[in-house]
Structure 1
Amino acid sequence: MATHMQDDGARRGSRWRLMTWGGAACLLLLPLVAMQFFPGSGVDWTLSDFVVMGALLSIACGACELVWRSTNTAYRAAAGIAILTGFLTVWVNLAVGMIGSENNPYNLLFAGVLAIAVFGAAFARLQAKGMALAMAAAALAQAAVAGVALVAGWDVVGALFSAAFAAPWLLSAVLFGVAARPQRTQSR
């Protein structure tokens, strides 16, 4: 029975692994296909664009590999949301920028949000309770950066868009909080 459960868990893990890495490969191939079949569509990636995106996807997928080792579903969900939010933050800022264009130096402030999440996670040693605090701090920093953009009179739509990124950081914090709670066992 235990062997069957291990085999089933291994198969489930390999399906997630295949979906994650396969999805990343498809995402990386999309611009290449667009450039071949839809010239002049505005998609004009250079080799360095593909290298950077490949590195970003590899980091995100590699982080997911580490998360799958957790048996706590809430922890896996929280980490997955945090990884996806961090990935999207970098991708959006490199592609078009959250505030103004991708060349707007104000967008560098979002690196601080990512630093809070990453260094907070390292300081928490990836333990759920500390991760909840780190992701809550990232949510607060994300909202603060958006608030500063609004007060400074930068692009209002961009500021509101970046403020929306606080929600998944906060959701991740809540789920890490759930993962930190002791599991109740049923008594017989």
Structure 2
Amino acid sequence: MTSDTYSNAIAWIRVLRPFAWGGAMLLLPAPWVAMQFTHEVAWTGSDFIVFGAMLLTACVAFEMATRVARVPSYLLASLIAIGAAFLLLWANLAVGIVDEPEHAANLLFLGVLAVGAIGSGLVRLQARGMACVLAAMAVVQMVAGGIAMRMDTQESPAFVLAFTGLYVVAWLSSALLFHKAAKSCLAE
């Protein structure tokens, strides 16, 4: 890896770090602000604790990625994966992807995140392994979406298909960027 490539990755990390932590600090009180204007948002203390834990987890995942990133493509892949995982969990817990959050089909989508968390640990965040983990997440996402569409739900199959497709694209985009990062590190 050339020193210019490494310097670019470090420069991006320095720029993105305050946005990650600052964004989390701005997002945490957002539901409380919304509660002041509408009764549609009714969070409890435990909702804020869970949301805070999600934000902290995302920021810590970002910090871990920055410690491993040696090329900008690794960092971008990490940002896509972390952001998609955060939004998947948030949607699942807040309103449920399929019907209400308690619907059994929603557990399938949590399985996608479990594959990502366990896989990331097993490959120690190395780019080549992360490409495989994200590809596996895309496959699990497709299977989860397929099963969810067949379950007895009130949700439109078209919505579940579109939701699943969007996440498959996110996971595969991240996988391709991790693959590019792995090739960049091997070439140098």
- How far is 1:102 from its partner? 1.0
Contact kept? 1:64, 1:80, Cα under 8 Å: yes
Q: Does 1:26 align with 2:26?
A: yes
Gapped runs of 5+ residues in structure 1? 1-6
Query: TM-score, normalization: structure 1?
Result: 0.86
Partner residue, 2:172: 170
Aligned partners of 1:60, 1:79: CA distance in 2, in Å? 10
Q: Give the Cα–Cα distance (whole angstroms) in 1 for the partners of residues 138 and 115 of structure 2.
A: 10
TM-score scaled by structure 2? 0.86
Structure 1 residues 104 and 9: CA distance shift in structure 2, 3 A:
closer
**Does structure 1 residue 134 correspond to structure 2 residue 133?**
yes
Q: 168-177 vs 150-159, which deviates more?
A: 150-159
CA displacement at 1:11 relative to structure 2: 7.3
The answer to whether the 8 A contact 1:143-1:166 is kept is yes
Q: Considering only aligned residues, what root-mean-square deviation do their CA atoms show, in Å?
A: 2.2
Aligned AA for 1:24? A
Question: Separation in 2 of the partners of 1:171 and 1:116?
Answer: 17
Q: Which residue of 2 aligns with 1:16?
A: 16
Alpha-carbon distance between aligned partners in 2 of 1:29 and 1:10, rounded to the nearest angstrom: 30
Once the two structures are TM-superposed, the CA of residue 177 in structure 1 deviates from its matched residue by 0.6
Partner of 1:121: 120
Per-residue deviation, 1:153: 5.1
Asked if the contact 2:135–2:172 (Cα under 8 Å) also holds between the matched residues in 1, the reply is: yes
**Identical columns (%):** 41
Deviations 1:51-105 (A, max 9, x none): 1000000000111112123221111111111111111111000001111111212
Higher alpha-carbon Rg: 1
Cross-structure match for 1:4: none
Counterpart residue type for residue 66 of structure 1: M
Partner of 1:71: 70
Relative contact order, higher structure (CA 8 A, sep 6+): 2
